[in-house]
């Protein structure tokens, strides 16, 4: 009987755009996050990345992000679940309005954080 060696390649890094950081998306007992504030201009580097997923559904925020990440895909369905290697880009409004949806969002209205699991 021959044994077959299975060579597993690590999953390709995904860039995941989120409007919040849901801690229940991490199916781990313990983990450490590296959170770094970023400027929108810095997101241009992700335009060359071929594996982008977005869970941001707010039309005005999507429009703003597409000025920096032209290949930002349509929002994914369902809830985000962490996969090893994911790089998270969390985009939030500086002053969210409860019960009101902003029709326009400018660069001054958002805060961007890039999050990785250590």
Q: What is the pTM of this model?
A: 0.85
- For the record, the structure tokens of 36 come out as 């770094």
Q: Rounded to 5 degrees, what are φ and ψ at 37? A: -70, 145
Q: What pLDDT shows up at residue 10?
A: 44
Give the pLDDT confidence score for residue 48 in this predicted structure. Answer: 85
Please say whether the beta carbons of 16 and 87 come within 8 A: yes
pLDDT at 85: 93
The pLDDT, as a whole number, for residue 34 is 97
pLDDT at position 99 is: 63
pLDDT in tens, the chain (118 residues): 443 443 333 456 899 999 999 999 999 999 999 999 999 999 999 988 889 999 999 999 999 999 999 999 999 999 999 999 999 999 999 987 766 677 888 999 999 999 999 9
* CA dist., res. 72 & res. 69, Å (int): 6
Q: What is the largest CA-CA distance in the chain?
A: 66
Domains identified in the chain and CATH numbers: 15-21+31-96+105-117 (3.40.50.11170)
3-state secondary structure the chain: CCCCCCCCCCCCCCEEEECCCCHHHCCCCCCCEEEEEECHHHHHHHHHCCCEEECCCCHHHHHHHHCCCCCCCCCCCCCCCCCCCCEEEEEEECCCCCCCCCCCCCHHHEEEEEEEEC
């Amino acid at each position: 009987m021959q044994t077959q060696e299975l060579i597993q390649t690590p999953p390709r890094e995904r860039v995941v755009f989120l409007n919040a950081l849901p801690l229940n998306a991490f199916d781990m007992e313990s983990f450490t996050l590296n959170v770094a504030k970023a400027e929108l201009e810095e997101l241009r580097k992700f335009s060359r990345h071929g594996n982008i997923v977005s869970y941001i559904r707010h039309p005005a925020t999507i429009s703003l992000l597409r000025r920096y990440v032209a290949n930002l895909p349509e929002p994914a369905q369902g809830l985000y679940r962490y996969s090893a290697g994911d790089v998270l880009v969390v985009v939030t409004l500086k002053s969210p309005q409860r019960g009101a949806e902003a029709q326009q969002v400018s660069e001054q209205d958002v805060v961007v954080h890039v999050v990785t699991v250590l």
